Amino acid sequence: MKRRREEEEAEIEEKKEETTKTKMEIVWQTPAHPAQKEDYIFHNGKRHVRPYHFEFVSHVNKRWEGKTIVDLFAHEFRGRSRDYYVNAVKCGRIQVDGENIPVSYIVKRCQKISHFLHRHEPPVMAYDVTILQNEPDVLTVCKPASVPVHPCGQYRKNTVLGILEAEHGLAPLYTGLFFFLDINMSAIHRLDRLVSGLLIIAKTPAKANSFRQHIEGGVVKKQYVAKVVGVFPDGEKVVDANIDHNPREGRSTAVVGISNGDTTLKGKSACTKFTRISTNGTHSIVLCEPITGRTHQIRVHLQCTGHPIANDMLYLSDDVVDRSTLGTTADRAAALSGSPRATISENNKEEYKYHSEDFSIDPMCTHCPNLAPDGYDGHEEGLWLHCVRYSGPGWAYECPYPDWASLD
């Protein structure tokens, strides 16, 4: 077994050397390049994206100004080593205003910085995004857990919008104009990546604006179902507790108390109504109706009741998870720290045998020849939280219940 692995590693190194000797014909992609059906690889029950060359663009802000180009990347983007950034500058993979620069170059305010790299997107658990209704001006889909709605972070093609365009030719779509979880935020709505269920997407700006007006007017009703720990109390239970979100930790907390003239409670006001649907003595299925929309509101308010979502590692414990060392997101870090089966090791990493027809190895890539980026061990689980219904004046859309919502 050991010898076989050594032979495979030697073969990969040989391919890297061949690639280095031969000038690579690279097509650098930008956000303007849409996802294509052939961009995806289905392996071990998951949807992967073929690694591709991508130009990341950013502009020098006040904090970056006056730093050398290498110091800037080494301090701000710690996912790669300083040596990598030195080599990337030397070979032109990092440029300023479209020009090659020396490693000692000092950046100036508002300059455009391009970082050309081989992008490996994380896998998602879904093979497809199920279309529920396709009307002239509205599209409704059942979003699978683990798939982000729109490009964010390490995800671009492995998103609901990317998959809908690649697999169904549906574009443009308008999620960013009307859907949002917090009416005090900019008009952006999405289901959290690990949450599944109903997603309503406008196909025209006019319809997007109509939905936006309904939400801002507070006339939209939302319903979710959750599978929680223990026997949830019978009857209706209302939780009215402020939500204080910490973006650095990726976690929210509930703040209970009474504000007076001298003291103001932290966070934003939040209210959720809960009703038990069923229970088997170990778990309960609960209908969740958020009156407001705050980050992780349902998850935190269920924690307040003493009945957190049964597989929600982030809120099953009050302990703060060190996301910087255990994972790229708070949820992933919590899963790794709280679940023995999800501890990253050589024994449980998702196995994938590199095939040259799937993608070409980039000699400068820090993730090749793996299909997924470093840090993804293949043991991700969707939350037992599912959006089932949205309704407003003259309209209502629904999504089937998930399998886990049956306690038979």
pLDDT in tens, 359-381: 999 999 999 999 999 878 777 78
Residue 73 and residue 167 in one domain = no
Q: Residue 232: CB partners within 8 Å, gap ≥ 6? A: 274, 276, 279, 284, 286, 305, 307
Host domain of residue 385: 130-337+381-405
* 408: annotated active-site residue: no
Mean per-residue pLDDT, 117-124: 95
Give 390's strand partners. Answer: 222, 397
- The total of structural domains in the chain comes to 2
pLDDT score for 273: 98
Q: 0.95 exceeded by the pTM?
A: no
Per annotation, catalytic residue among 192, 244, 312, 377: 192
Residues in the chain: 408
Are 201 and 244 in a shared domain? yes
Nearest to 139 by CA among 116, 168, 114: 168
Question: In whole angstroms, how far apart are CA 119 and each of 51, 126, 313, 357, 378?
Answer: 5, 20, 29, 17, 18
20 pLDDT more than 50: no
Question: Are residues 139 and 277 both part of a single domain?
Answer: yes
Paired residues of 142 in beta bridges: 130, 198
**Would you state the pLDDT for residue 180?**
34
> Which position has the higher pLDDT, 136 or 180?
136
Average pLDDT, the chain: 85
Tens digits of residue pLDDT in 328-343: 678 877 777 765 444 4
Instruction: Look at residue 7 and tell me whether its pLDDT is greater than 70.
Output: no
Q: Would you say residue 365 lies in a domain?
A: no
- CA distance readout (Å), 151 to 35, 94, 157, 176: 11, 22, 7, 11
Q: Are residues 112 and 73 in the same domain?
A: yes
Arithmetic mean of pLDDT, 221-238: 96
* Cis amide leading into 369 (omega within 30): yes
Q: Please tell me the predicted confidence (pLDDT) of residue 374.
A: 84
Strands (E), 30-169: 40-43, 46-49, 52-59, 94-96, 112-119, 130-134, 138-143
Q: Tell me the CATH number at 105.
A: 3.10.290.10
Is 80 exceeded by the pLDDT of residue 264? no
